[in-house]
Amino acid sequence: MEAKLIGSLRYAKYRYPKNHPLKIPRVSLLMRFLKVMNLIEPEEVIESRKATDEELLLFHTEDYIKTLKLAEACQCVPNGAREKYNIGSYENPVSYAMFTGSSLATGSTIQAIEEFLKGNKVFNPAGGMHHAYRNRANGFCYINDPAVGIEYLRKKKGFKRILYIDIDAHHCDGVQDAFYDTDEVFVLSLHQSPEYTFPFKRGFLEEIGEGRGRGYNLNIPLPKGLNDNEFLFALEKSLEIVKEVFKPEIYLLQLGTDPLLEDYLSKFNLSNVAFLRAFNMVRETFGEGVHLGGGGYHPYALARAWTLIWCELSGRKAPEKLTEETKELLLSIDFEEFDDEMDRSYMFESLRDPYRGGEIRKEVRETLQKARALILST
C-alpha cells in the first residue's frame, strides 16, 4: 500500500474572512510544512479536485447547493438565504470557502475513498467538515464531505456496513443526523459535552439512533480538562463496544485537531502524542481506513499533529526537532496567540508534545459504563 495525501496549495485562496477562526492556513500550511521538513515526495500528493454536482447531491439538496453557488458568485446573501440556509452569519460567512473551497474538500474525500479502494493509504486533511446539514450550513461547515463520502460508498459502491469515527472536540451533529435511522452506518463520536459547548443540542449519551438505526449511534460526551489518559481510555472502551456490535466493511476517521491543549476552541488538554496514539488505536482495531481532517484552529498545533499522522501513515520516522526553515514558516503565518503569557516556544522546537497524562476521573469511567449498557441493551 502506498500513502497518498490528497491536497492542494489552492486552499490558501479560499479562506474564511478576517476574524473568523478558520481564516488561518491549514491544508496549504501542512503541505508547506511537510515539504520544508522533507517528509513528503511529489508522487505522494494527489491534487485535489472539486466535487461534481452529482456527488454533492448524493447528500445535499439541490436548492441549497444552488444557493451556495449564488452567494459565493455575488459575494452577498441572497434574499431569505440567511434564515432558510443559515449562511451570511459570523459563524457561516459569505466567502470563497463556502462553495469552491468546500467543494474542493468534498471532491478530495471522494478521491481519498477511490484511492483507498485501489489499495492505498490515504489522508485528506481538508475533509471532516461534519456539522453541515442537508440543506443548511452549520458550525463553519457548508458541505458535509463525510456524509457525501458515506453516501457515495452506499449508493455508488454498494457498501452496507460503514463505520464513521470522529475524535474532533465538537460533536458531529450533521453526520449523526444524516444516518440516525439506518443500520448501515455506525457513528461513533468522542467530544466535549454539549452541556458546555457547541453544538449544544446534539451529542448527548442517550442519543443512540432511532428506528432501524437504534443502537448504531454512540456518543461519548466528555468533561472539560480531559487529559491524555482519559481520552485514550474513553476511545479504547468505545472501540470495544463498537467491535462487539458492528463489523464494518470500511471506516472513515475524522481527525480534527481541536482536542489539543493549544486549541482555543476546546477545553480539552490533549497532546499530539495521545492524538497519534488514538489514530493508531483505531487502525489496530479496524485496519486501514479513509482518514480525514476536521476542526483545528491553532495552526502550529494543527501542522505538528497532522505531520505526525502523515509520518505514521507513510511509514516515516517522525523527526524530533523542527528545522530552522520550518520555524520561519510558522512565524510567517498571520496568527496571534490569544494568551500572550502562555509559553509556546516548545512548538517551534520539537514536533512532539510532552505526554499530558493524569488521573482517569470517575465521571469518565461512568460515562463509558453507561454507553456500553445503552448500546448492548438495544
Does the predicted TM-score (pTM) go above 0.95? yes
Residue corresponding to grid cell 454539549:
194
219 φ, ψ (degrees, to nearest 5): -105, 135
Contact between 253 and 291 under an 8 Å Cβ cutoff? The reply is yes
User: pLDDT tens for residues 217-226?
Assistant: 999 999 999 9
Q: Write out pLDDT tens, residues 204-245.
A: 999 999 999 999 999 999 999 999 999 999 999 999 999 999
Beta strand 3-7 pairing with 45-47: parallel
Give me the pLDDT at residue 178, please.
98
pLDDT of residue 344: 87
Is 130 catalytic? The answer is no
Assigned CATH for 3-376: 3.40.800.20
- Closest Cα partner for 322 from 31, 41, 33? 33
User: Which residue is catalytic, options 60, 171, 191, 291?
Assistant: 171
> Which contiguous run of DSSP H or E holds residue 26?
none
* Predicted pLDDT at 257: 98
**pLDDT for the residue 341:** 74
For 14-61, write each residue's pLDDT tens digit.
989 988 999 999 999 999 999 999 999 999 999 999 999 999 999 999
C-alpha cell at 89: 452569519
Contact between 15 and 26 under an 8 Å Cβ cutoff? The reply is: no
Strand partners, 215: none
Cα–Cα distance for residue pair 276/16, rounded to 1 Å = 28
What cell was used for 221? 460526551
Least confident of 177-181, 289-293, 334-338: 334-338
* Residue 339, pLDDT score: 75
Q: How far, in Å, CA of 246 to CA of 249, rounded?
A: 10
Note the Cα 47 to chain centre separation in Å.
20
At residue 336, the pLDDT reads: 83
Lookup: cell for 344: 509556546
